[in-house]
Amino acid sequence: MAELPNIHDTAMRIAEEVLSTEVEVNGIKTTLCKLANVIGQIMVDIPHWIPCSERMPKDNTLVLYVWRSENGNVSVLHGWHYSIRGLGSAWHQSGVGIERPDDEVTHWMPLPEPPKE
């Protein structure tokens, strides 16, 4: 299956391209720069999948994470990552108390804000 482009990375790349352009035509660059900044801020605020190879969440922060089992099955789980000095780190699955090794978790995502009534 083909992988979908990462919208966050795409938006940030477009914003960087616009900001690096030196041509100003009838205020278009200024408008595009403002738009790129708004899009960039929106993309920072929207939860998205973060590869574990890129960075890990702060320890003991509830997140969603993608776990790939030994037989290749993929699950999205709720829990947190933690480190124990000198002993390594792992992922804890909420509700069942199961620990997952770091090398079986590929991505994580911050939880969205709860709905406002």
Average pLDDT for residues 48-74, to the nearest whole number? Answer: 91
Domain boundaries, the chain: 7-45, 50-110
Indicate if the pLDDT at residue 1 is higher than 60: no
Distance CA 109, CA 57 (A): 8
Which residue spans within 17-87 are E strands per DSSP? 50-51, 63-68, 74-84
**Cα 3–Cα 46–Cα 94 angle in degrees, nearest 5:** 85
**What pTM did the predictor assign?**
0.61
Average pLDDT for residues 32-42, to the nearest whole number? Answer: 75
**Cα 65–Cα 54–Cα 97 angle in degrees, nearest 5:** 25
- Please report the pLDDT score of residue 117 as a whole number: 79
Distance CA 3, CA 67 (A): 18
